[in-house]
Amino acid sequence: MYFNLNSIFSTFGGSGSEDAGELYSSGSGEERINIFSLASGHLYERFLRIMMLSVVKHTKTPVKFWFLKNYLSPTFKDFLPHMAEAHKFEYELVQYKWPRWLHQQTEKQRIIWGYKILFLDVLFPLSVKKIIFVDADQLCLSTFGGSGSEDAGELYSSGSGEERINIFSLASGHLYERFLRIMMLSVVKHTKTPVKFWFLKNYLSPTFKVVRADMKELYDLDLGGAPYGYTPFCDSRKEMDGFRFWNQGYWKNHLQGRSYHISALYVVDLKRFRRIAAGDRLRGQYQALSQDPNSLSNLDQDLPNNMIHQVAIRSLPQDWLWCETWCDDSSKKRAKTIDLCNNPLTKEAKLTAAMRIVEEWKDYDEEIKHLQESINAEHVDDMHRHETAAHTEL
């Protein structure tokens, strides 16, 4: 089934909310990078904060984060303006209702996955020309800035006239909200361009990432005419060969020698994405495949890989995403982001893995805790002054 793009705009409204408290703008007028992420739950929001901090610390261009509002906790939403002020990034919360005519998902995780891939053409204002998706459990490791690339031919200037970096993210639940805060902190610390975060109100997904690079390099990467770019799964950790399902059966035949790509980090040329109606194509294929409960096991990942012949994927350089589960230890030193993938062999807890794998994790976590403590102390002082003033009036 083919879906007309105009019907989706009429259903969703086509632009993010600008209600007080949901939009923070630095007003700097500088070019920015847009970054989208999701998280759900306090732990994942903790990861998200660290991801954001690592991005801002490593990215010279201003950054704007975009978040799906639906599953963000009140605590996280209250914290965002303070973190944005402290680290000089922008953010915006977006919210869209899943259309009635599109096959519904009932599990929270799968709903979040759907928001990651199905509505990229309508979640953001038309003025947003390009966006990077970063999972909450990712950490920025080095400078992304365009000058840091060793292959200048792979970079290009978007010429979009945007004045900041837009980052979209999702999270749901206390654990994931913790990750989300740390993701944000890592972004801000590595990104010198103004940042605006965008959040989908409905949900914030269980994902984790730490960024060690300047997102501008990824933002400016030439996608070679493809509407989006993803990093292929690593194949260097040989003891995991038995778990690489894409090297056998259906996926081996379908990919025909192409890579199977991971959905934890990707960059979208929204102008190109909209022009070729990639959103309509993805929704049409989703509508056909999702009727079968055995299809799209990893919805946000399987769908773009399934559609690789109709909607091209630019394979990003491998160092853009390092994951201990799939990548060998020797390649870690080249990593620009670290993703805390689940390990089917060890089943190690995410938080334990984060503190073991990412050297700067504890420092980021402590920095965010100190900011939270100072905010709480100011709140207590304000309440005390208000009570004292009220008592004096009596």
Could you report the per-residue pLDDT of 54-112, keeping only the tens digit for each? 999 999 899 999 999 887 899 999 999 999 999 999 999 998 889 999 999 999 889 99
Structural contact between residues 89 and 220, judged by C-beta atoms closer than 8 angstroms: no
Q: What is the pLDDT of residues 222-280, one digit of tens each?
A: 999 999 999 999 999 999 999 999 999 999 999 999 999 999 999 999 999 999 999 99
In tens, the pLDDT along 307-345 reads: 999 999 999 999 999 999 999 999 999 999 999 999 999
Q: Residue 180 has what pLDDT? A: 84
pLDDT at residue 125, as a whole number: 94
Confidence of residue 203 (pLDDT cuts 50, 70, 90): low
Q: Is the pLDDT of residue 200 over 90?
A: no
> pLDDT confidence of 201, banded at 50, 70, 90?
low
pLDDT of residue 118: 97
Give 2's strand partners.
none
- Rounded mean pLDDT, 350-360: 92
The average pLDDT across 386-391 equals 61
Average pLDDT over the chain, rounded to whole? Answer: 82
pLDDT confidence of residue 167: 84
Collapsed DSSP state (helix, strand, coil) of residue 258: coil
Q: How much is the pLDDT for 313?
A: 98
Per cent of the chain over pLDDT 90 is 60
Q: What's the CATH superfamily of 5-393?
A: Spore Coat Polysaccharide Biosynthesis Protein SpsA; Chain A (3.90.550.10)
- Return the C-alpha torsion angle 71, 76, 78, 80, nearest 10: -110
Query: Averaged over 366-385, what is the pLDDT?
Result: 83
378 or 369, which is more confident?
369
Encoded amino acid at 128, one letter: V
| 187, pLDDT greater than 90 | no
Rounded Cα gap, residues 220 and 59, in angstroms: 13
Q: How far apart are CA 169 and CA 201, in angstroms?
A: 10
Q: Which two tokens stand for residue 10?
A: 């009429």
For the segment 154-160, the average pLDDT, to the nearest whole number, is: 34
Asked whether the beta carbons of 191 and 219 are under 8 A apart, the reply is no
Give the mean pLDDT of 36-64: 91
